[in-house]
Chains A and B, each alone.
Chain A
């Protein structure tokens, strides 16, 4: 992936997400992988990165099922009777990301198991005629 000629900015990371690609950056000096993308490797204090596309496979590291949501998620239609899951996913490649977890029984969160395999699912939301893509995961 190192042939991608784009700066390691948040905006470029988000544009990849809009195009349904989960990208990270890998430090060419020490090999550490960052998701979301970082330009500077704090371990080496160098800016010697290359883009890497993630496989989208991982496991559930931690989660919650939220009944009192954020304005954005209320706008998406979630509420006390229709909760959603916020989760932290440990990617197969080793780094972690925050994402909505879908395809699970949010009303019975005790059925959701930490450690279960998950795969990426890009979630599209239409707001004011525009489609926005957010990072999501679902059981693999």
Chain B
């Protein structure tokens, strides 16, 4: 059975404000923001001299920013050159992979302390260009000629889930409504507004412009209206995560070094990574991600925990359907049963298994290569009881999980955290 040869702790975590930052802030600026923010979270402080390597997760600075070789560039900005500075790529799971490789390197004894960087600056390109770059994470040989876009691939998966399990467009909307309610409480989120907030501001704007004020009764009315157009049926605009610039920084330390930085480290007790055929048509199952099932199987086995032991999770809601599939792939619910839990409010902040208290990729934002490093930032805060505003869960979090999916499920990284 795979296990970590040494204990590994998360001793600090932070992020830049996520948003639409280009050209005011580019990759280097975003990363420095994240580094400073994470440095503040380390109880006894941390200096570059304490750190052995900088592991960088980034999807496609090559295509977004015409800049390759990001590892040493990021390391140098924070005083870590000439130490090792590799870059990892696995589409939207890039910094999840960087985190996992840092865990493995520390457990192996090669390094004692590693800074993990996740960074992506997407808005240097217009939306059509971003869509095109993202699509290169799918199969360009056989899915491109058939017209696949990323929302299109997840819309296709949603159609299969709808058919097999009776999942509905309203179920997808419930995921979005919840994640926006959480994101409204996160000062680092790109869209700090609930759907209700957005409806109110839209009505106000219409009133000021002297236009007919829409008579939406509730969020569902709004989300079924022309204000929320279809992007890739059955997915609408508010089923899709955002185009975002942002960065996150994690400090990992070996068990014996962790005490130098804090008296209350968060222990990483499980890590897993899985893969799958890049094309959906090459997979046996269109309603589940085998990479996620494999990654979580490994992580649960390593930590000796079971799905029922997990108290909160940050999962990869690049599209609302992905959160539903994640809840099932992680074993929190049986196949087809996650929607019942969502309808019952179980995944809300005050529910029995809060999911994406950060706002998720939907509301916090999705700087693709940075998302895998940003998820543990929320876990770090929730486990220490310091999540901002009103989003701290009301119980002591002892066991948590992050689920970081790459592309249309070709890669998945799952990590388990314990106090």
Contact = CB atoms under 8 A, between A and B. Distances in A.
Interface in B156-196: 156-160, 163
Of the candidates B160, B281, B286, the one having the most CB atoms from chain A within 10 angstroms of its own CB is B281
Contact of B148 (A70, A71, A80): A70
Contacts of A69: 147, 149
Contacts of A100: 146-147
B350 to A, nearest CB: 34
Contacts of B146: 86-87, 98-100, 134-135
B229 A98 contact: no
Interface string A76-87: 001010011111
B419 to A, nearest CB: 41
A67 B148 contact: no
A51 B331 CA distance: 41
Chain A residues touching B, range = 35 or more
Contact of B232 (A36, A66, A99): A66
A68 B232 contact: yes
A109 B155 CA distance: 12
A14 B212 CA distance: 54
A68 B131 contact: yes
A70 B231 contact: no
Contact of A96 (B230, B235, B282): B282
Contacts of B235: 64
A63 interface: yes
A140 to B, nearest CB: 18
Interface residues of B, number: 36
B160 A67 contact: no
Contacts of A97: 142, 281
Contacts of A73: 147
Contacts of B282: 96
Interface string B229-241: 1111111000000
B131 A84 contact: no
A100 B325 CA distance: 25
Nearest to A88: B281
A40 interface: no
Contacts of A62: 156-157, 159-160, 163, 280, 286
B220 interface: no
B144 interface: yes
Interface in A36-59: 36
Interface in A7-23: 10
A65 interface: yes
B232 A67 contact: yes
A64 B408 CA distance: 14
Contacts of B139: 98
A61 B141 contact: no
A64 B144 contact: no
B143 interface: yes
Contacts of A61: 160, 286
Contacts of A135: 145-146
A30 interface: no
A68 B132 CA distance: 11
Of the candidates B157, B159, B160, the one having the most CB atoms from chain A within 10 angstroms of its own CB is B159
Contacts of B279: 98
A64 B152 CA distance: 6
B365 interface: no
A36 B142 contact: yes
A88 B280 contact: yes
A91 to B, nearest CB: 10
Contacts of B12: none
Contacts of A134: 145-146
A13 to B, nearest CB: 9
Contacts of B242: none
A3 B295 CA distance: 43
B290 interface: no
10 contacts: A62-B160, A64-B153, A67-B230, A69-B149, A70-B144, A83-B230, A88-B281, A97-B281, A100-B147, A134-B145
Q: Which 10 A-B pairs have the closest CB atoms?
A: A64-B155, A96-B281, A65-B233, A62-B160, A109-B233, A98-B146, A114-B163, A64-B232, A86-B147, A62-B156
Given A86-B147, A86-B149, 11 more contacts: A61-B286, A64-B159, A65-B232, A66-B147, A66-B231, A68-B232, A70-B148, A72-B144, A99-B146, A100-B146, A100-B147
